[in-house]
Structure 1
Amino acid sequence: MVGQAVVALAGVTKRYANGTLAVRGVDLVVGQGDFVSLLGPSGCGKSTVLRMMAGLIPPSSGRIEMAGGSATGDVGFVFQEPTLAPWSNALRNVMLPLRLAGVAKAEAEQRAAAALASVGLAGFEKSYPRGLSGGMKMRVSIARALVTKPRLLLMDEPFAALDEITRHKLNNDLLTLWEAERFTAIFVTHSVFESVYLSRRIVVMAARPGRVVEDLPVDAPYPRGEVFRTSADYAAHCRDISAALTRAME
């Protein structure tokens, strides 16, 4: 069940210094434990909205309210690329946010090892990014985002560059983590199929200036798996979301 609001956007607009109006008048409320996908064409401001939620860039106008204030420790962010330090092994990469927060080394090592195990990388603590596959590097990135136990996890097309088999596996693993940890997830994607598989809600955005045009529920129960992915219900949801995306692009 979805609880009280974790993040709320009211009339949020972002205009960059070069004059580009990226998003205009975005209203969005995401509740505790929800899984929401932001779906829309390239350049519609999905990543801009995510970065404003994370406090990485400020809105030009409007309000962004976080439950309990704006403590950055309550927010984890997974970028499109894993952005791992090549000179550090997996364990030290995951430890980084804890060490920056002043957590003692021994505790940080223990928590980082547990986070790696939670994403299926137990035994790879001493591996360096150059020795990991694309999917494994993304798992390290997810572990690093989750190691602080954030209330809100923001994910900016994290699986877009991966092959379909790896992407499906990581979708399944992400849902397993979400169901176990009960964080709130906001997931940016271009994929109708991925958004339907993962989400409780899909927020469809129109092309620049980005704005919310539809907010649609996906009422299929969790846990989800291959039975759902090959079901008539899944296909029907995909058709509905595809139609909404087509309307947004007109």
Structure 2
Amino acid sequence: MSTSPAADNRSGTPLVSIRRVSKQFANGTIAVRDVDLDLGAGEFVSLLGPSGCGKSTLLRMIAGLGSPSTGTIDWPGSGQEGQGKAERDLGFVFQDPTLMPWANALSNVMLPLVLKHVPRREAEGRAAEMLALVGLKGFETSYPRELSGGMKMRVSIARALVMRPKILLMDEPFAALDEITRHRLNDDLLNLWWRERFTAVFVTHSVFESVYLSQRIVVMAARPGRVMADLDVSAPYPRDELFRTSPEYAHLCRLASGKLKEAIGA
């Protein structure tokens, strides 16, 4: 059984290469210090750590939504130089779905295509296809006020993926959802990752979520944010409820929890 939708690329050219990246804000706070990290094509990587450890700051710098104070973020695996030129290869899912309340689900997902001047008929077809992929076929004309929290997050994910990005960045997208919905969306996200073959970088506070989803867990310490451990999760895909209740899952959760405890005390 293959363990990932793409061959492990960490021994080759990374998609994203982060070297000695630090971020200091105007008030003097050092959010991130000397982070070195490679992201391979097709990987699923979680950034795990306590509040204030710079996970979201690092994610935003990868996305080009902020610049490092020092260090570099390069895209050698994209065939392009510099993070700005690689923006079209990105999808970003925020903690809040950030949907347009006056637009239906189809129009919300179409937005990136409209901004790129994709012909309307093509944009509608691609948006409808993506809504079907996230399990919302039949809800194309529904407005955000008519959707549950989980359904709104599905629309947000569909919008982020409609441009077929090489990398999907997710900033705690399921944190506000109930456990049952969160588990279901974890499964759906893995199915999408397996099918679409994008690189996934997922910010979370949850040890259990990070182990269930990831091939790698990057554990970060706070004040300043820095990488304390880079753990391999060697369990094969696809993963399901049997994995969640397996001794292997429990062992991996204990390992990640121990590294997180070390990071919090560092």
TM range (shorter): over 0.9
Question: Runs of 4 or more off by more than 2 Å in structure 1?
Answer: 67-71
Partner of 2:260: 245
Q: How far apart are the structure 2 equivalents of 1:115 and 1:73?
A: 18
Q: Following superposition of structure 1 onto structure 2, how do residues 56-75 of structure 1 map, counting pairs within 5 Å? A: 56-66=65-75, 67-69=78-80, 70-75=85-90
Partner of 2:4: none
Partner of 1:204: 219
Q: Following superposition of structure 1 onto structure 2, how do residues 78-97 of structure 1 map, counting pairs within 5 Å? A: 78-97=93-112
Is it true that 1:53 corresponds to 2:62 in the alignment? yes
Is it true that 1:181 corresponds to 2:213 in the alignment? no
Residue number among 230, 240, 243 corresponding to 1:228 in the alignment: 243
Partner of 1:7: 16
Report SS of the residue matched to 1:36: strand
Q: How far apart are the structure 2 equivalents of 1:17 and 1:102?
A: 37
Q: Following superposition of structure 1 onto structure 2, how do residues 28-177 of structure 1 map, counting pairs within 5 Å? A: 28-66=37-75, 67-69=78-80, 70-177=85-192
Partner of 2:29: 20
Q: How far apart are the structure 1 equivalents of 2:172 and 2:79?
A: 27
* 60-69 vs 75-84, greater mean Cα deviation: 60-69
Deviations 1:182-227 (A, max 9, x none): 1000000000000000000000000121000100000000000000
Number of equivalenced pairs? 250
| Identical residues among aligned pairs (%) | 68
Report SS of the residue matched to 2:126: helix
Q: How far apart are the structure 2 equivalents of 1:71 and 1:216?
A: 27
Q: How far apart are the structure 2 equivalents of 1:72 and 1:124?
A: 29
1:6 positional shift: 1.0
Consecutive unaligned residues of structure 2, counting only runs of 5 or more, are: 1-6
1:68 positional shift: 2.5
1:14 positional shift: 0.4
1:72 positional shift: 1.4
Consecutive unaligned residues of structure 1, counting only runs of 5 or more, are: none
Report SS of the residue matched to 2:150: helix
Q: How far apart are the structure 2 equivalents of 1:120 and 1:18?
A: 44
Report SS of the residue matched to 2:195: helix
TM norm structure 1: 0.99
Counterpart residue identity of residue 245, structure 1: L
1:50 positional shift: 0.2
Deviations 1:98-155 (A, max 9, x none): 1111111111110000010000000100000000000000000000000000000000
RMSD: 0.7
1:17 positional shift: 1.4
TM norm structure 2: 0.93
Counterpart residue identity of residue 246, structure 1: K
1:80 positional shift: 0.3
Report SS of the residue matched to 2:15: strand
Deviations 1:19-63 (A, max 9, x none): 111000000001000000000000000000000000001111100
